[in-house]
Amino acid sequence: MKKRIGIFLLLLAGCSTAPKNTLTQVSTIDALLAGAYDGQMTLNKLLKYGDFGIGTFDALDGEMIMLDHQVYQARADGTIHLMPAKATAPFASVVNFKADMTPRLKDMLTAKTFQSAVDELAPNQNLFLAVRFDGCFTFMKVRSVPKQGKPYPPLAEVTPHQAVFEYTGVSGTVLGFRCPSFAKGINVPGYHLHFISDDKTKGGHVIDFTTGGGNLQLDTCNRFYMVLPEQDQFSKIDLSQDRSKELEKVEK
């Protein structure tokens, strides 16, 4: 019996894939708000923790969309690029996406009413929830942030210069997370959604949309794995402040 347990632990240690229903996160949202934009984890490594997620890239170079094992960058110039495995992320949240629920949403929904509809379907606000919605959008408004140079300014000073794009009649995927309120300071409490079009030419951080319906997939996660940066940059940030007002500003 002892021998069997030993083998099991060895297998776990040798496996870098996160266990089931685990949201893996690189750095914290407050560190990002404070300007910690140095890439911390390669996409190659990040993809070992998930096949689905959102984040940003080294030097805050655009919005990250990880979908079906591929990582895309939505740049501030409005272009989308498939990213190489060696690219790095200063902040990211990923899961191995496995839907627990696949309800069909039919009504005309905006970003706000979409979130209310998801809340009704997944009422436990104290768990992390991965959200994937494949649909057609009569309207889609996204933003992306421009690449920064050092010394990095705080995120609230970058977002006034964000690029905003509006599209009509586009099909694609809205994906991201709903985080519990107790995740404040670590991740974004509530919804944080990104978008990428089916033809992989449009995307970014979702500001608003209108959809006539599509396929919703929800994956509840009750495990959380956080990877904090070891770099000097992280040690110099004051993370004792409450940055919730700044977060509210940058999310809009």
Residue closer to Zn ion by CB (options 103, 162) is 162
In DSSP terms, which residues pair with 135 in a beta bridge? 172, 214
- Closest residue to Zn ion, judged by C-beta, is 205
Residue closer to Zn ion by CB (options 18, 175) is 175
- Residues interacting with Zn ion, by CB under 5 A? 205
Residue closer to Zn ion by CB (options 202, 205) is 205
Residue closer to Zn ion by CB (options 42, 162) is 162
| 91 within 8 A of 26, measured Cβ to Cβ | yes
* Minimum separation from the CB atom of position 120 to Zn ion (A): 24
* Minimum separation from the CB atom of position 206 to Zn ion (A): 8
Residue closer to Zn ion by CB (options 42, 159) is 159
* Minimum separation from the CB atom of position 212 to Zn ion (A): 24
Q: Omega into 146 within 30° of 0, i.e. cis?
A: no
Residue closer to Zn ion by CB (options 142, 221) is 142
Q: By C-alpha distance, which of 220, 198, 175, 225 is closest to 63?
A: 175
* Minimum separation from the CB atom of position 247 to Zn ion (A): 11
* Minimum separation from the CB atom of position 250 to Zn ion (A): 9
* Minimum separation from the CB atom of position 63 to Zn ion (A): 5
Token code pair at residue 123: 């009422």
